[in-house]
Amino acid sequence: YWSPNINIFRDPRWGRGQETYGEDPFLTAAMGKAFVIGLQGNDPKYLKAAACAKHYAVHSGPEQSRHKFNVDVTNYDLWDTYLPAFKQLVVNAKVAGVMCAYNAFRGQPCCGSDILLNDILRKEWNFTGYLTSDCGAIDDFSAPNAHRTSPDAESAAAEAVLHGTDVECIVGPTSYKSLVKAVKDGKLTEKQIDVSVKRLFNIRFRLGLFDPIDQVKYRQIGLSELESPKHHAHALKMAHESIVLLKNENQLLPLKKNLKKIAVIGPNANNENSILGNYNGIPTKLVTALAGIKAKLGANTEVVYTAATGYTTANPTLKATVDSIKDADAIVYVGGISPKLEGEEMRVNQPGFDGGDRTSILLPEAQTQLLKALKATGKPVVFVMMTGSAIATPWESANIPAIVNVWYGGQDAGTAIADVLFGDYNPAGRLPVTFYKSDSDLTSAFDDYSMTNRTYRYFTGKPLYGFGYGLSYTTFKYDLLTTPAAIQSGKNNIVSVKVTNTGKMDGDEVTQLYIAHVGAKMKAPLKALKGFERNFLKAGQSKIVRFELKPEDLVLINEAGNSTTVKGKLMISVGGCQPDAQTQASKKTVSKTVSII
């Protein structure tokens, strides 16, 4: 099972960022570890499935040049940003497989990298699982329009196997078919190939493929589990919990259910493709936003629908379209972008999109113009945004009263959207990426992998919506932050905080812990997430939330890429979002500065 994708979503222009867990190494490592443990199971002998951490390493676009570009980053960025999640999954989650990336790293293709494969993965991390190439990546060693680090397929195959790439995923030519000739020509030995063969058979043994079915509990899982009621419920739960309320001016949301007429419009309102993302299965039943709203309101409310606009193409009959719905009690615009525009190496060339990546992070102008026309009707407008990446919405955020980011929510996305819009579910999702204000905030070229001024950890500007941001229909207050008088660098340290639901509605709250090394004499993130926990609190209820800061949470990375224990001042902040002066004044976050000894 070639998942999870634990690359760092360092730049919102990358089309495949939708597959990742976001821009933060700690969050990515935590989510990836949970995924691997859940997928592989807890049987001491057998694997439920064999997870595969990809794409190793330093990989996040551009899609069009991934077969030939060479990445070189500082040792600081390598070990501070790009490798921590892979280390967590290999060393602690015991992931069964790793997939090496298409790109080259410091002059060698990742599937033939001395540094990444031999030195770090096999020797330093003691990885004993199998390593697969990305599909067609070995051909890139010798292809004339790719890396061209090997003269022919035979040499490419030998080079990859000698670097521990055990299996080749193929599309088109097959370099590994030339391994027999490579042995005959003395480029590697059969014994060296046997190393890979043993690893591959070991995974098959661990999956129980050679044992009687009655001895392998995971092979007894029947097809009836597919789309079982509990899995349907889980799909809805994931859709619910991922929705992020970005804006809710004057508590426009939730909408009342007794509306006489509601207009549901936009290119994603009734689009099944846009709720599935990419690398997805095909569910038996899909619920779009339109279907979910219709089911929620029933026959007493007139629901009118029109796509109204394309993603990037304007509606030539815009005025007539808007005139036809201006008598609605409320307008729900379901727009954003689509998996048909952003994704893996796609043949897409539309304004703002190229080859699977984005050339602009702004909401396409055609949609902004429609939203301006909707705003001019004077009716309440809700913008439901579907996307797999951060979209800059400067006009919308200033002028549209309610904005809900619903991502690509899966098979029951429409039910979840309707539940949130009409108050049957209180949203508590948080952004795993920074939503910048404009293209000008992206000060580095897309193919520049330096982390300078990238992500919340190093961005020095003010974002439109920050990493970790998300609103609720209720309010929460934080106080009683408790920490040790001094943090002991070699030990676990307990931090606790009291969180209270001070509003009138029950709901979840995602409590987040950030640290910042105050006055550090070496390079350090501006702030860094080191803990998070989601809890349900009834109106008026309080809870003490505890975090454990481990020694590895407190280290910094030096210029050589080594973890370094530092002394000095540490600011610990806990709350429902990143800390700043405004959130601290409103008790949405609380902070304390202590010494590390």
Q: Which residues form the catalytic set?
A: 134, 342
DSSP assignment of 295-320, as one string? HHHGGGSEEEEE--S-SSS--TTHHH
- Of 282, 336, 297, 342, nearest in space to 19 by CA: 342
Q: Are 53 and 97 in contact (CB under 8 A)?
A: yes
DSSP 253: P
Region label for 2, one of left (φ > 0), alpha (ψ between -120 and 50) or beta (otherwise): beta
**Gap between the Cα atoms of 149 and 139, Å rounded:** 10
Secondary structure percentages of the chain, helix, strand, coil, to 5:
30, 20, 45
- Of 267, 420, 245, nearest in space to 338 by CA: 267
**Gap between the Cα atoms of 34 and 456, Å rounded:** 23
- Of 535, 536, 532, 561, nearest in space to 547 by CA: 532
Q: Give a three-class secondary structure readout of 160-185.
A: HHHCCCCECCCCCCCHHHHHHHHHHC
**Gap between the Cα atoms of 141 and 49, Å rounded:** 30
Sign of CA dihedral 221, 226, 228, 230: positive
Q: Which residues contact 309 (CB under 8 A, 6 or more apart)?
A: 266, 267, 315, 318, 335, 366, 367, 370
Q: Other CB atoms closer than 10 Å to residue 560's CB: what's the count?
A: 10
Task: Write out the two tokens for 321.
Answer: 């379209």
Q: Which amino acid is located at 565 in the chain?
A: T
Half-sphere exposure of 286 (CA within 13 A, CB side): 19
Q: Are 467 and 24 in contact (CB under 8 A)?
A: yes
For β-strands 556-557 and 528-537, DSSP reports them as unpaired
Q: Which residues contact 247 (CB under 8 A, 6 or more apart)?
A: 397, 400, 401, 402, 403, 471
**Gap between the Cα atoms of 107 and 149, Å rounded:** 9
Q: Report CA-CA distances (Å) from 354 to 278, 283, 359, 369.
A: 17, 29, 7, 22
